[in-house]
Amino acid sequence: MRRARILAIAGTGVLFVLHNNWWNWQPDATLLFGLPVDLVYRVLWVVASTGILWLALRGWWGATE
């Protein structure tokens, strides 16, 4: 439970930094397999934020490990 709380607090800071850099991506830049960087970045951000929210809820509402 303590580990989940620490990861949630640390992850919130990481998401804040990533969100600030979100708008620096060029929409026409491409990644592997021709996927737009913007799309890949947004999907990864949503996945990471969902995981951190889950950790925060798990840590603060006292779920057992």
Domain of residue 27 covers 2-60
DSSP 7-63: HHHHHHHHHHHHHHHGGGS-TT-B-GGG-BHHHHHHHHHHHHHHHHHHHHHHHHTT-
Note whether residue 65 is domain-resident.
no
What pLDDT does 26 receive? 61
What pLDDT does 47 receive? 83
What pLDDT does 54 receive? 80
pLDDT score of 65 more than 60: no
When divided into structural domains, the chain yields a total of: 1
Note whether residue 11 is domain-resident.
yes
11-58: per-residue pLDDT in tens? Answer: 777 766 666 555 565 666 676 667 777 777 777 878 888 887 787 777
Note whether residue 51 is domain-resident.
yes
